[in-house]
Structures are given as C-alpha cells and as structure tokens.
Structure 1
Amino acid sequence: MFNSLYIGVLVTAGTCLFASLAGYAFAKLNFPFKNVIFLMLLSSMMIPTEVTSIPLFTWLSKLNLVDTHFPLIFPPMLGAGGMFGVFLCRQFFITIPNELDEAAKIDGCTPLRTFRTIMLPLATPTLATLTIFTFLHSWNEFFEPLVYLNTSKLYTIPLALSLFTNEAGTAWHLVMAAAVVSTLPLLMVFFFAQKKFIEGVALTGLK
C-alpha cells in the first residue's frame, strides 16, 4: 500500500507540474518549431508501452536502476500519460484570452510569474481531472512493476494481489478483501477532487 501510494503521489505531482508548464509554453509562448515539436510529442501517445519496454529495460539495467522504483516514477511522467497531460493543459490554456498575458506583461510579469499567479489558478479544474486520471493509472499499473521489480518488499498493490494465486489455487476471500482495501485511496482521491473534476468536464469546449 505504501509503495503504491508514494509512487502514485510522485507520478501525479510530477506529471501535473510537467504537463502544466509544457502546456502553457505550447499554448502561449512563441518559439521556433513549436507546432512541429508538439506534433512529435503528441505522436508518442500512439506508441504502446510494450514497444518501448525492452529498450528502456536494457538502458535502465545498464544504469543499475532495475529492481528499484525509479522506472515506475520518472519514465511515466514523460511517457504517453505525460503527453496526454500536456495536450489536456494546452487545450485549456488556449481558451484563456491572450489579453491576460498582455496585461501581465504590461505589469512587468515574467512568463513564469504569469504562469504561477494567473494561469495555474485558472487551470485547477483541468489539473484536478489530470490528477484523477494519472493517479488511477499509476495505482492500477501492473505491467511495468512486473517487468522492473524483483524484490517482494518493493511490490505495488497489483503485484501483491497476484501473490494470492499459486499452483494450489486462488484464495478468493483474501483477494476480495485486499481488492476492497486497494480501492479506498482511489475513492478518497475522487472524493476530494470530484468538484473540480465535474467542473472541468462541464466547462470542456466552452470559452
């Protein structure tokens, strides 16, 4: 439970930070080849995780990072989940009038301060939605922990649930009890973020 919780929190926080900064840059800042870079990043969402797992495993094994939580925390921030967050934040920031940026520049705000004091508070519904999606995906991830983790004390919830099955059969009563306990953090996340989540869904596409 602790392993899944702190991995989910770190992945969610990192993804929201990275996605909001990148989304703001692609939506409001001007730099060379902006659209080309965005399309290249967006195309990475079409690459399944299973395709990149072997070269990523080989690279991380050379760095002695296999059987640690590093592959479960940092690569997901920059993978398809992170790119989805960038796309989501970019689409939201595009809907914000440019006059806010211009007014901030007149007042002497740097782009980073404009993002922190003006854009980020406005993006709370979008970030709440991204928080739920990212935490849910990290909490339920089974394939990557199965590939990278060998030590049982490092296991996450999905791997721990698989331990109840062996050659003798499945202890279904223990599996069901553990499954109920494993859903509690997800319910808590949605409970605290549901207002912003529903607000974000309701405002999607509106200017």
Structure 2
Amino acid sequence: ITHVLDTHLHADHISGGRAIAEQTKATYWLPPKDAEEVVFHYQPLEEGHNVTIGKTTIAIQPVYSPGHTIGSTSFIVDDQYLLSGDILFIDSIGRPDLAGMAEDWVGDLRETLYKRYKELSNDLIVLPAHFMVIDELNEDGSVGKKLGTLFAENHGLNIEDEAEFRHLVTDNLPPQPNAYQEIRETNMGKINP
C-alpha cells in the first residue's frame, strides 16, 4: 500500500484511511476543503493534480464534486471508471446533511450531478461507495453502471425543476448518526476513541 485516498471527510463512520497510511508509510490523500480542521499531515487531493500509482501507472484524476460535503471529490481511474464516493449511486443520489448543511449544500449537489458529471464521458463506469438495495447489484455481484445509463435511468438525475430537486433532497432526510460530530472530530484527528 503506497497511497490511501478518502473521497471526503466522513461523518457516518471512522475512516481507517489515516491508520492504514500510518501503518504502511503510505501517502494519505484528503480533499483540502474537508480538511481545514484536521490536525495531521495529509496530501491535498485536488482537481488538476493526478495521482500516479505503481510501475504500471494507474492514473487517478480527482474531480471536485461537492454536495455530500463541501470537499467531496470523485475519482476518474484510467479514463474508465468514476468512483463517485457518496455523491451518486446506482438508483439514488447522495445526501448533503451530515454536517448540518443540507440547505446550503443541496445547490452544490445539483451542480455536481447536473453540470460537472454531465461534462464527463457517458462511457465511464460509475462505481459508488455503497448501494441501498440488492437490486442495484449486477449479475456478477458488482455495483456499477455506465454514467450515460444512470443519466437515463436514475430518478435523481432527471428532475428538471430545481425547487423539486431541493425538496426531494432535503424534505425526507433520515436522521443523522447519533455520534456524527464525534466521528467527524475523530476523522480530523482531534479526538481518539
């Protein structure tokens, strides 16, 4: 392990990224807009600065994609895959509320999904961080679909009215995790569980 990358500062679980990087002496990458309060060393994961891994050269192109958090960053890997983190899923879209900023970040989420992602190749295979229902799995057990297919089939990518989009995203948010602030502070390195 030579590089560890987090798509954003997590608020729903303690990331193992920093611990893995420390144990393996790997470079730990984190989006700087999510890392303003971290108290440890990290490499800023910024659009325009590709990450190259190994002798076979796996090219990771960061794509700034705010909406889940202010610093959310997706990865285009070898011009084939879009690792969308918690912004876009197979049958749904991300939630922007884990820092209590849903009303402020819903516009960023729409901008990412409806403008930034629209500029990307429809042939990219979207690999989200997780899935909601078993129906989202492919026959081989993988979770992924072409971006163009998601623009055609994912309801969250097909809401023309911005007010309707805002209501869809903010009106029915599930409760935040009980310890989300402590989780965020742990991922910032401010507290240790």
Higher helix share: 1
TM range (shorter): 0.3 to 0.5
Higher strand share: 2
Give TM-score scaled by structure 2 length: 0.34
User: Higher RCO, 1 or 2 (CA under 8 Å, sep at least 6)?
Assistant: 1
